[in-house]
């Protein structure tokens, strides 16, 4: 099948991969955009795996403020060179991940960082749920395992669906940038602040009036 410039453009816009990478993926996929997308993602994973052991000690700390100052995020993302850290593409990646943290409230960057007591507590809850649902004891462990995977996808930043493309995870986005930029990229840490979080909230006047009418 002939690979047209329009097909290459469409794949580039969808994946952000380089022109030649897109063309080669389309050739390998016989023009199938979806299959070519998978090929590029697999390539990104392979490239990221090769570069994962390389030292990433440069990078930037960036801030994202949302909702008129009600939510703020500080995040550190590392790369290998100061040159890459100063590029608009890397800065945009960091900004996007900070926006992800603001919107999805992850507990940690990766599942290995979750405290053991949090994991055990979740497992206990899912085990109790399974038993209360009448599931056979022999399959409870499988049920707990499946629900824990969903839990990790909710609370671990790199496993969350990416805010700008829910069909891909944050890790997928990072891997694709690693493949494109050619350097290891590592999300190191973040801090999320929400105005008034943890403070006792005042009851609104309307709520107070309703409570008074009800004799509360």
87-118 pLDDT, tens digit per residue, is 999 999 999 999 999 999 999 999 999 999 99
What number is the average pLDDT over the span 23-42?
86
User: Is it the case that residue 18 has pLDDT exceeding 70?
Assistant: no
Residue % of the chain over a pLDDT of 70: 87
Task: Name the residue among 135, 164, 182 with its Cα closest to residue 13.
Answer: 164
Confidence category of residue 216, pLDDT binned at 50, 70, 90: very low
CB within 8 Å of 81: residues ≥ 6 apart: 58, 183
The DSSP element (H or E) to which 53 belongs, if any, is: none
User: Is it the case that residue 122 has pLDDT exceeding 90?
Assistant: yes
Return the pLDDT at 211. 44
User: Is it the case that residue 24 has pLDDT exceeding 50?
Assistant: yes
User: Is it the case that residue 13 has pLDDT exceeding 80?
Assistant: no
Confidence category of residue 127, pLDDT binned at 50, 70, 90: very high
Measure the CA–CA gap between 37 and 79, rounded to whole angstroms: 25
Q: Are 25 and 11 in contact (CB under 8 A)?
A: yes
For 63-130, give the DSSP string.
Answer: EEEETTTTEEEEEEEEES-HHHHTSHHHHHHHHHHHHHHHHH--SBSSGGGS-HHHHHHHHHHHHHHH
Task: Report the largest interatomic distance among the alpha carbons of the chain, rounded to a whole angstrom.
Answer: 76
Report the C-alpha dihedral over residues 38, 164, 78, 156, rounded to 10 degrees: -90
Return the pLDDT at 207. 47
What number is the average pLDDT over the span 189-215?
67
| Total residue count of the chain as it appears in this document | 216
Among 6-10, 112-116, 126-130, the minimum mean pLDDT is found in 6-10
| Residue 78 structure tokens | 């590392």
DSSP 3-state of 170:
helix
Report the C-alpha dihedral over residues 41, 59, 81, 25, rounded to 10 degrees: 10
Sign of the alpha-carbon dihedral angle for 80, 81, 84, 86: positive
User: Is it the case that residue 212 has pLDDT exceeding 70?
Assistant: no
Return the pLDDT at 202. 57
The per-residue pLDDT for range 156-195, each reduced to its tens digit, is 999 999 999 998 899 989 988 888 888 899 999 999 999 8
Residue 55's Cβ-side half-sphere holds a number of Cα atoms within 13 Å equal to 4
What number is the average pLDDT over the span 55-83?
92
| Domains, the chain, ordered by start | 1-51 (1.10.8.10), 115-153 (1.10.286.20)
Sign of the alpha-carbon dihedral angle for 171, 173, 176, 180: negative
Residue 27's Cβ-side half-sphere holds a number of Cα atoms within 13 Å equal to 6
pTM confidence score: 0.72
Return the pLDDT at 19. 75
Beta bridge partners of 63: 74
Task: Name the residue among 212, 208, 176, 203 with its Cα closest to residue 93.
Answer: 176
């Amino acid at each position: 099948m002939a690979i047209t410039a329009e097909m290459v453009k469409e794949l580039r816009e969808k994946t952000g991969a380089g022109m030649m990478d897109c063309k080669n993926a389309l050739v390998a996929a016989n023009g199938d955009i979806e299959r070519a997308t998978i090929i590029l993602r697999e390539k990104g994973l392979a490239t990221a795996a090769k570069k994962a052991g390389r030292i990433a000690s440069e990078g930037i700390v960036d801030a994202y403020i949302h909702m008129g100052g009600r939510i703020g995020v500080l995040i550190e993302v590392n790369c290998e060179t100061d040159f890459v850290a100063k590029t608009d593409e890397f800065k945009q990646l960091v900004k996007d991940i900070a926006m992800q943290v603001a919107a999805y409230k992850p507990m940690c960057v990766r599942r290995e960082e979750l405290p053991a007591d949090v994991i055990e507590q979740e497992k206990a809850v899912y085990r109790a749920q399974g038993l209360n649902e009448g599931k056979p004891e022999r399959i409870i462990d499988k049920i707990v395992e499946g629900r824990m995977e969903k839990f990790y996808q909710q609370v671990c930043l790199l496993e969350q669906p990416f805010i700008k493309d829910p069909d891909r995870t944050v890790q997928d986005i990072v891997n694709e940038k690693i493949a494109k930029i050619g350097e290891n990229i590592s999300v190191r840490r973040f801090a999320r602040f929400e105005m008034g979080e943890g403070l006792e909230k005042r009851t609104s006047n309307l709520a107070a009036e309703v409570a008074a009418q009800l004799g509360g």
